[in-house]
Amino acid sequence: MEKLICMFPLLLLLLCPPFAFAGHDYGQALSKSILFFEAQRSGYLPHNQRVTWRAHSGLQDGKASGVDLVGGYYDAGDNVKFGLPMAFTVTMMSWSIIEYGKQMAASGELGHAMEAVKWGTDYFIKAHPQPNVLYGEVGDGNTDHYCWQRPEDMTTDRHAYKIDPSNPGSDLAGETAAAMAAASIVFRRSNPAYAAELLRHAYQLFDFADKYRGKYDGSITVAQKYYRSISGYNDELLWAAAWLYQASNNQFYLDYLGRNGDSMGGTGWSMTEFGWDVKYAGVQTLVAKFLMQGKAGRHAPVFERYQQKAESFMCSCLGKSSRNVQKTPGGLIFRQRWNNMQFVTSASFLATVYSDYLASSGRNLRCNSGNVPPAELLSLAKSQVDYLLGDNPRATSYMVGYGSNFPQRVHHRGSSIVSFKDNPSFVSCRGGYATWFSSKRSDPNLLTGAVVGGPDAYDDFADERDNYEQTEPATYNNAPLIGILARLSGGHGGYNQLLPVVVPAPKPVVTKPQPSPNPKTTPSPASWSGPISIEHKMTASWVANRRTYYRYSTVVTNKSNKSLNSLNLSISKLYGPIWGLTKSGDSYTFPSWLSSLSAGKSLEFVYIHSAAPADVSVANYVLA
């Protein structure tokens, strides 16, 4: 990229911008920004892991508490799993896919994006073992920050912290409910059983958050120094209700937004920020969408007040409000010195989706200075992303691995220490500081796609590993960015963002061929490799008493050339009535009207419950 140099300093401000660059490859930036999440994975890494310098880590997480908490994401450059920012990350990744999944599919990145979401939701399922129990942190920042170690070498405390009715956390439970609900929309078409399971957890988590009120950092006090909930929990309760309504179309949650909008601040707060702590601007944007979709009904007056606050946020970002966001001389939205880029990507995402909502409804944005066409919001988002990618006074890309001038000494334990695979020698707690943290050399492992904290209020930036305010990345920096990049890369395509959401099925992800077992006949837990096949599918769903119920049909076929005279099936995770089998002790056998199953013949049984498919397997059988 070439910098445009102006030769006449006195005419600089009048005739020529201080910096101008060639266009960006948003598709490449999208691919890299999604890849970053693979570097942040905790747990057993899959065979198709693309960030190959990482290895398994945190394999004992939760064990001391009697629960499996292996998996999930490290939030930033440390090795702690913080539940609140992780949940916000998953919510924003899901929202990005919901709005711009078609563009991601066209670029071949939808499958990777959905895998990134599922890595988080798989962990949240584990972290929510009971309706009113949620594990919200593994490890603690104090002991973790004392050490500089690869995740694979961790010797720090891995204590698991939870919330429950006696130790509530409405903000944490509410944000996790939002994440599960949003993700259920992502998987609704490609994996309906998994989507149903996510929605079931979301319902329970919302009820838990709403019934047992309290700030999570009052219960998980070790989080206070790192992710204190300044805004409280009302914004998360409204946020969760908005996502549950979008996921379930259940009127209860729409009524909740209408009934509580004034008292919980949804219609009162005029925000100039949006992020993992303060969700009001996001709630207001979603409710404005419901209003434009014609779904407000009797709540229209309240929803119009939500929309006024949403538009106040948009106008403040554009500099057209009575209280505008601060910007650097180079034009970057600036909120704070420590990881400012999180606010840039989150605000830019809201501007992007709201631009498309307005365009779909044929409306303009209403600011103090008058009506503003939707295209101005998209232009704002594009300007912020272009700055992030290198169109700035320093000509620096703040995405690692994008462009020719990007941060080389990232505040990140894994990337700054030689890969465990290249040198498995143990890196001690303090030894990591002496050998690797203090090194002035570039990182041995490229943290591709990571968006670092970025410059200060004057566009200055110091590429130093100990400059954590500016060089540390975070998952919640990238999560909203993938949506904007997909939109800028794929264009609008004539989509009406107010129509019902349909996330396309992802194309198969092409990876390096590796030996793998034969594929199962279905993606459900029902499988058997012997002479008896089990095929499992969902045939119907409906909502009753705020809960979604599913009818599952399971077909058992005798594939042998002999008669099946005896059969015992083991069925676990069954939470409703079953028809077509006879209960026999701890297993199930032929129904009363069937004594055997001839060669090539099948039997069908069905059951109904409000969860993912039951686990069905063959306990024993007799062929004659």
Any catalytic annotation for residue 164?
no
| Set 38, 61, 78, 152: catalytic member | 78
Any catalytic annotation for residue 78?
yes
Tokens of 65: 């508490």
CB within 8 A of 74, min separation 6: which ones?
Answer: 40, 41, 42, 80, 81, 151
Transcribe 41-89 into DSSP letters: B-BSPPTT-S-TT---B-TTTTGGGTS-----B--SSSS-EEHHHHHHH
C-beta separation of 405 from 397 below 8 A: yes
The CA-atom distances, in angstroms, between 279 and each of 236, 246, 351, 488 are 6, 16, 15, 24
| Set 144, 472, 536, 609: catalytic member | 472
The CA-atom distances, in angstroms, between 550 and each of 118, 193, 537 are 21, 9, 10
| Set 411, 412, 536, 609: catalytic member | 411
N residues, the chain: 624
The CA-atom distances, in angstroms, between 160 and each of 70, 74, 129, 427 are 11, 14, 13, 24
| Set 255, 463, 464, 535: catalytic member | 463
Paired strand residues for 366: 371
In whole angstroms, give the CA distance from residue 87 to residue 244.
Answer: 15
| Closest by CA position to 340, among listed 405, 275, 415, 410 | 275
What one-letter code names the amino acid at 276?
A: W
Tokens of 507: 């194309």
Any catalytic annotation for residue 615?
no
Any catalytic annotation for residue 466?
no
Edge-to-edge, what's the strand order for the sheet holding 582-584?
582-584, 587-589, 564-572, 615-623
Tokens of 399: 């995405």
Residue numbers annotated as active site:
78, 411, 463, 472
